[in-house]
Each structure stands twice: as structure tokens, then as C-alpha cells.
Amino acid sequence: MEIFLIVVAMAVIITALLKFKPNTKSSENSSGATQEESRSHELSDEEHQRQASLIEKVKLLCQMAEVHVDYLDEEYEFNTLRKRIEMAKELASQIDEEFYNNSALYFIIILTHKVGWKKDTKELLDLISVDLIKEKITKVIGDEYT
């Protein structure tokens, strides 16, 4: 829970930073693009909210799936767990922004590690590109996948 709060706080800070616009007139950056052109790739407030909402859905799916971890001997429990993890992966794949995407993958990686699915954990961990999130994951699961 503590790590999730840190991730959410960081997402809020990043959102605030992305909204910050210096009070300068249009000027060219080193690539020749104007500040307005450079900002065109930024996410809108609605898009930030949509992606943050997807992170929450991934987290909830992982929490719901975790209930089945102790009963993996039973086919129904195993299949339900697998379906929820696949749904969480699908939702995470809809998140375009790198930090938000990595934040969503965090929850799935922790869950696949708890289940003991090393191949899945390793594959997902290889998708993490944000060093801060990779460090947080390593603190929870160790460095056996690196």
C-alpha cells in the first residue's frame, strides 16, 4: 500500500509538472520546433485521468486475483487468477504514458511473483523502463530476475 501511495503521489507531481507552462512567447527549441509544437504531445487532463483510472483498475484486478493465490490447486481458482492477470495486462497495454504504464505493470509483476510465475514476472519486468519503479519492484521481489 505504501508503494502505491508513492506511485500515485509521483503521478500527481508529474501531472502538475506537465501542466506547468513557462510564461514565455513562442520560441524555438534546439530541434527547431516551437514550444507550442513541443507541447502538442503532452496529455490532456482527461487523458491523464483516463490513464490514472486504468492504473486503479489494474490494481483492483490484481487485488481480486490475489484472493485465488492460495487455491491454485483447483482448476477454477487457477483459471480465474489467470483471467484476471490477463485482463490486468490488457488494461496496462492501453496506457500510453510510460510512467503510468510502468506503474500499472508494478501491480501485475508483484502478483506474478507471489504466484511463482517466474517467466511472466521476468517478461513483465523487462518492460519496465522507469528506473524508480524498477527499484521499487526490486525492493519487493528481490533481484533474482535481473
Q: Identify the residue whose cell numbers are 508483484.
A: 110
Q: Which class for 121: exposed (0-12), middle (13-18), buried (19 or more C-beta within 10 A)?
A: buried
Give the tens place of pLDDT for each residue, 105-143. 999 999 999 999 999 999 999 999 999 999 999 999 998
CB 120 within 8 A of CB 136: no
Q: How confident is the model at residue 44 (pLDDT cuts 50, 70, 90)?
A: confident
- Residue 82 domain-assigned (yes or no): yes
CB 34 within 8 A of CB 28: yes
- Residue 94 domain-assigned (yes or no): yes
Considering its fold, how many domains does the chain have in total? 1
- Residue 127 domain-assigned (yes or no): yes
> How far apart are the C-alpha atoms of 56 and 61, rounded to whole Å?
9
- Residue 22 domain-assigned (yes or no): no
Beta-carbon neighbour count of residue 101 at 10 Å?
A: 23
- Residue 78 domain-assigned (yes or no): yes
Which range has the worst mean pLDDT, 27-31, 40-44, 57-61, 78-82? 27-31
Model pTM?
0.71
Average pLDDT, the chain: 80
- Residue 73 domain-assigned (yes or no): yes
> How far apart are the C-alpha atoms of 69 and 90, rounded to whole Å?
20
- Residue 60 domain-assigned (yes or no): yes
Q: What is the mean pLDDT of residues 72-84?
A: 93
